[in-house]
Structure 1
């Protein structure tokens, strides 16, 4: 029994042969088509650019002055809220002096209530003046006679100095720079409320 075999041969054509010859123009055309295909794929996969972020700008609700107090021996933050239309009229306004009136204290929400009252007509337009306190136990209390309280709060009892600061320094500052009507009110909560009550009892003109 014989087995026949076939030999397969592979012929390699030289580059110079007519079958392998590619013109320079055709080569450039093919390369350009390949580049265009790659660019199209890249553009198709690139996400849409994010919309520009709107520029931020501050919301202004009032003015701030830093008052160097001779009475207290340091600087205090004084924040002022003016009613709507203040800049468009010559009207004079009553003033609400707010104890604990720093930005980190009660100024924002009391100014907000005043704005609500002005816009809704719930109460008369007024100027809100927030006065910063620092050592509340000292500035808002009268001198205690309780030995335990004196021991725990040795700085207590300086309300008279803080009241002098309000009358002699804060009030003149406001009256010199804003259109005030001469009608004043004093407002505070917690220890500041006690300060308001004491001020009314000791000198109604300051409360």
Structure 2
């Protein structure tokens, strides 16, 4: 009997604890973020003992390279509140700052890692951000695969998107190889870049051809994103030590070989594209110049486009001649895009001047804004429909 009573007590305590965890309406629910009909957004944080609460977000005017901040106001119940101005359609990221300490919004379960920072995110729709919302359309499949890289003497992880219907068809597809920027890895484009949603929606709207998208890890000293390799829980860093070694570019044929040996893809030049942002844009233009028979389409997004003079990698040597050879061999599209306040804008102009002097054909898009995921998602949305025509 005592055992029965003890078990009943434990069950009752467990149920009470579970009810407390899921609230069951016993406490006032805090909604944050709350998106209003006019696209302003209210954020809330319960912190009755805090002296100061702020929000740091990319919808606020930046301070140099840092995101902007704004102050919350506290009510009598210890709830801090901030309401934004009307926001344009976009995916936004943010954090709270409580007495100088950055924290997540505990009422928003949607989080993304950006280099070593975890941020909350939300989407304002009814505009361009609808392109990277999950819609009621056929969806592709995203997988993480490991492949051998003989060049780097390691196994490496890659993220691969296959289009809707890939598993049930016998069709062969073209491939877009997509590269991240400094601090990123094979998770960057699928998470921050919303690649799967963008390509799903473009295919559904018949704006883009069904394609594979291969998102590689551009850090030659890594096997995989932090937490996904035998290096375990290492903190991500922004600039890897061998960034100008040329090893990423030299090893790229390894991933192409893996994809073309394991997936139903077309293997001719006109069915391969390569693109990247920032550091990945540098990788893309370098890889394509060193492999002029491989890619029919090249996308260079907000790129660091001229190597430093002390770059020793073989892939950077005689680069002007490699560009001339690439021009002579021909390609379908060479597309450059950058924001007009990007810190690499001057370098982009210098690179285009070099191409102009060579009469190297390219198309150019200049957008508003700077070195941001907002621009890079837009560039992917613009670039993908131009491929494989």
Q: Structure 2 length normalisation: TM-score?
A: 0.31
Aligned residue runs from structure 1 range 99-138, under 5 A: 99-100=179-180, 102-108=185-191, 109-134=194-219
CA contact (8 A) 1:71 1:165 kept: yes
Counterpart position of 1:12? none
Structure 2 gap segments, 5+ residues each: 1-15, 23-138, 222-238, 296-389
Separation in structure 1 between the aligned mates of residue 248 and residue 141 of structure 2, nearest angstrom = 26
Q: Give the deviation of 1:172 after TM superposition.
A: 1.4
Q: Structure 1 length normalisation: TM-score?
A: 0.56
Q: Give the deviation of 1:164 after TM superposition.
A: 3.0
Counterpart position of 2:245? 158
Separation in structure 2 between the aligned mates of residue 95 and residue 187 of structure 1, nearest angstrom = 11
Counterpart position of 2:262? 177
1:189–1:110 Cα change, 3 Å = same
Comparing 107-116 and 175-184, the one that deviates more: 107-116
CA contact (8 A) 2:186 2:216 kept: no
* Max Rg structure: 1
Structure 1 gap segments, 5+ residues each: 1-46, 54-58, 137-151
1:156–1:114 Cα change, 3 Å = same
1:187–1:63 Cα change, 3 Å = same
RMSD of Structure 2 on Structure 1 (CA): 3.2
Aligned residue runs from structure 1 range 20-169, under 5 A: 61-100=141-180, 102-108=185-191, 109-134=194-219, 155-159=242-246, 161-167=247-253, 169=254
1:155–1:164 Cα change, 3 Å = closer
CA contact (8 A) 1:78 1:102 kept: no
Higher relative contact order (CA 8 A, sep 6+): 1
Large movers: runs of 4+ above 6 Å: none
Structure with greater helix share of residues: 1
How many residues end up aligned between the 2 structures? Answer: 136
Q: Give the deviation of 1:122 after TM superposition.
A: 0.9
Deviations 1:127-181 (A, max 9, x none): 0111112269xxxxxxxxxxxxxxx98634322x3223221x2111111111101
Q: Give the deviation of 1:83 after TM superposition.
A: 0.5
